[in-house]
Amino acid sequence: MNFHILTLFPEMVMDGLGTSITGRAMEKELLSIKAINIRDYAFNKHNSVDDYPYGGGAGMLMQAEPIYQAYEALRSKMDLPEGKKPRVIYLSPQGSTFTQAMAEDFAKESELVLLCGHYEGIDERVLEEIVTDYVSIGDYVLTGGELPAMVMVDAISRLVPGVLHNDVSAEFESFQDHLLEYPQYSRPEEWHGKKVPPILLSGHHANVEKWRREQSILRTALRRPDLLEKAELSDKELENLRKQLENLQNSLQE
Ligand code: ADE
């Protein structure tokens, strides 16, 4: 999988993504992440890539042409089927909110272009021409698209086979089945007076799995009840949850 990030701050993106798991995946050539400096495609002698907005208003806009030239240079080198354009994601608070399901969808692409805006935005005409997906990482406003692009590349990369050490771990965690992950414990068996739940020390695999599923359901009900609506729980699991919530309520009243 090849990520291409169009940005005015290539070092920021590469320093972040060159570290830890994504950095190792690049070294192993499981994926490539390249930052393209939009300023390299400036077309005036001052190397500027921004200008005042027509109609007035605060701030500067990124101009269409440098972004278009950076995109065209990239696209012409891509090995895509005749007539197929790459998916181009524009990071913006106006986009659809990024989810795990979107990460899974993007992970199917072989080439992905991420366009990072700055200043007060980008000339609308180039967005109309090249952007296929508008994505936000949440309802807050950041100074630029670099951090959101890094968030997306991280979430998508870990779905690429081989990137995580343990292939099963991407399957069984938060948001799979719309449930949050169960609590986990490591050595020592007792810390600050708190004991590891005895069932985890029992060596009884089936009971451990049953306990973990119960804990996932309970945790989701307490922390993210909005997710529970989509989780497919059996009647028995629902009844069990109802009892556990009742017990919790009783213990709080005591
Ligand atoms: N650019 C600025 N804020 C953003 C956000 N919340 N998501 C994506 N891109 C952004």
Percent of the chain with pLDDT over 70: 96
Containing domain of residue 205, as a range? 176-253
Does residue 171 sit within a domain? no
pLDDT of the residue at 168:
53
- 44 and 63 fall within a common domain: yes
80 and 144 assigned to the same domain: yes
pLDDT of residue 119: 81
- The finding on whether 92 has its CB within 6 A of some atom of ligand 1 is yes
Q: What is the pLDDT of residues 36-81, one digit of tens each?
A: 999 999 999 999 999 999 999 999 999 999 999 999 999 999 998 8
CATH number where 195 lies: 1.10.1270.20
Res. 120: pLDDT tops 80: yes
Ligand 1, atom nearest to 92 Cα: 9
Say if 36 falls within a structural domain: yes
**Domains contained in the chain, number:** 2
Q: Is residue 125 part of a domain?
A: yes
* One domain for residues 161 and 119: yes
59 and 145 inside one domain: yes
Instruction: Write the burial class of residue 179 (CB in 10 Å: 0-12 exposed, 13-18 middle, 19+ buried).
Output: buried
Q: Whose CA is nearest to atom 2 of ligand 1?
A: 142
Encode pLDDT of 83-114 as tens digits. 899 999 999 999 999 999 999 999 999 999 99
Cβ of 138 closer than 6 Å to ligand 1, yes or no, is: yes
Flag whether 124 is in a domain: yes
For the entire predicted model, the pTM comes to: 0.93
Instruction: Assess if residue 170 is contained within a domain.
Output: no
Average pLDDT across the chain, whole number:
95
Residue 208 in any domain: the answer is yes
Q: How far is the CA of 116 from the centre of ligand 1 (A)?
A: 9
Choose the final residue of a domain: 140, 165, 190: 165
Per-residue pLDDT tens digits for 181-205: 999 999 999 999 999 999 999 999 9
Whole-number Cα distances in Å, 91 to 71, 133, 147, 171, 210 = 15, 9, 9, 27, 41
CATH of the domain at 91: 3.40.1280.10
Instruction: Examine the domain organization and report whether 159 and 205 are in the same domain.
Output: no
Residue 121 region, left (φ>0) first, then alpha (ψ -120 to 50), else beta? left
